[in-house]
Amino acid sequence: MSKKTTIYDIAKALNITAATVSRALNNNPRISADTKKMVLETAAELNYKPNRLAMALKSGKSKNVGVVVPYINRSFFSNVIHGIEEELNPMGYNVIICQTHEDAKKEADVLQNLLNAQVDGILISASRQTKGTEHYNQILRKNVPLIFFDRKLNVRGANSVTLDDYEGAYQATQHLIDQGCTKIAHFTVDRYLEIYENRFHGYKQALKDNNIAFDENYIVTLESDIEAGKDAAKKLMELPTPPDAIFSASDPGALGAIQYLKGIGLQIPKDFCVVGFSNEPFTQFMELTISTVDQSPLLMGKTAAKVFLEQMGANNVKIEKQMVLAPSLKIRKSSSRLDPSS
């Protein structure tokens, strides 16, 4: 195994002190531009790699950031991570990605492991099972920046970047009403999480503003998957007065509903309209494209990363920001009764 190049090897090659090499590598203003150039060129020639652990011990910063998501293989979360990396990598930060699989205990364990690894900050979308906040408070007590994105809990001292889920749901429901729908059902997921509670209230307010009676029978709680959407749609259509539209708080639920409704002979959107939430890739590449609310995951990731960087540059002054992004309704064939060509 070849010997790892050190600053002493660079110093020997240039006949200067190791201290001068160290200052040059760290862009110290006391070192001339010519010397810095010479040191950097020699470091590259000798394949010098800085000792990140030593640098972390010296600076108190690891240049590592933890990003915690329920599932990495979901399009929304992978795009958020992409946005985070686009902002943090050029600033010299490495991103450590962890999954909770919607398990509260696993989430607590993951956060403890990240603290043990001395990450400089943690960006997280909370698991559906998480009810308590003590493991979040522990992060803040250690003066490690904590930034929630998408799913958040109310934790004093934490930052957050979320979507205006209420407004997105309101727009989706209003769109269905504008298409002539009057009996609009709602698929929700877990209303303990603020995002789903906000989507429910946006839906409910749109009904109220249009003098449409709220019917508890039209509210179905389900898992965010296609089969659950099929089962939920079947349940709704067996009601004495079935709905004529569904606003689903998730795209997989919307897809499942569409598959069931088409299977029983209904024409979408002529007989029945459906709108989802999230703008998953499959919604725009199907023969029957699905109307949905775009969550702007790339922008959300970039914004969360910028909040972290702002916190890191605040010289130990705590910043508490609650950033809310505007939703965008993507109107497609599944709900375009007035314009089926869209």
Which pair of structure tokens corresponds to residue 205?
């307010």
**What DSSP letter does each residue of 26-91 carry, written as one string?**
TT-TTS-HHHHHHHHHHHHHTT----HHHHHHHHS---EEEEEES-TTSHHHHHHHHHHHHHHGGG
Q: What is the pLDDT of residues 191-218, one digit of tens each?
A: 888 999 999 999 999 999 999 999 999 9
Domain 165-295 has CATH 3.40.50.2300: yes
CB 300 within 8 A of CB 57: no
Q: Residue 83 and residue 71: Cα distance in Å, rounded?
A: 16
Q: Residue 303 and residue 160: Cα distance in Å, rounded?
A: 10
**Tell me, what's the pLDDT at 83?**
97
**Tell me, what's the pLDDT at 109?**
96
pLDDT band at 19, cuts 50/70/90? confident
Query: Which one is predicted more confidently, 129 or 256?
Result: 256
Pick among 3.30.930.10, 3.40.50.2300, 3.60.15.10, 3.40.1260.10: CATH of 62-163+296-325: 3.40.50.2300
Residues constituting the chain: 342
Nearest Cα to Cα of residue 21 among 60, 48, 2, 58: 48
Query: Which one is predicted more confidently, 311 or 57?
Result: 311
β-pair type (291-294, 328-330): antiparallel
Averaged pLDDT, 44-68: 75
Q: What is the pLDDT of residues 219-277, one digit of tens each?
A: 999 988 999 999 999 999 999 999 999 999 999 999 999 999 999 999 999 999 999 99
Q: What is the chain's mean pLDDT, rounded?
A: 91
**Tell me, what's the pLDDT at 339?**
60
What Å distances lie between residue 307 and 112, 149, 316, 321, CA to CA? 22, 11, 14, 8
Nearest Cα to Cα of residue 302 among 56, 130, 79: 79
Q: Taking the domains of the chain in order of start, what are their residue ranges?
A: 7-50, 62-163+296-325, 165-295
Q: What is the pLDDT of residues 283-315, one digit of tens each?
A: 999 999 999 999 999 999 999 999 999 988 866
Nearest Cα to Cα of residue 10 among 49, 58, 55, 52: 49
7-50: what CATH class? mainly alpha
Evaluate whether 7-50 and 165-295 have a shared fold.
no
Could you list the beta-strand ranges (E) of the chain.
64-69, 94-99, 121-124, 146-149, 159-163, 184-188, 219-221, 245-248, 273-278, 291-294, 322-325, 328-330
CB 156 within 8 A of CB 162: no
Reading across the β-sheet that carries 219-221, which strands appear in turn? 219-221, 184-188, 245-248, 273-278, 291-294, 328-330
For residue 75, the cross-strand partners are none
Sign of CA dihedral 219, 220, 226, 227: negative
List the single range of 39-43, 79-83, 138-142 with lowest mean pLDDT.
39-43
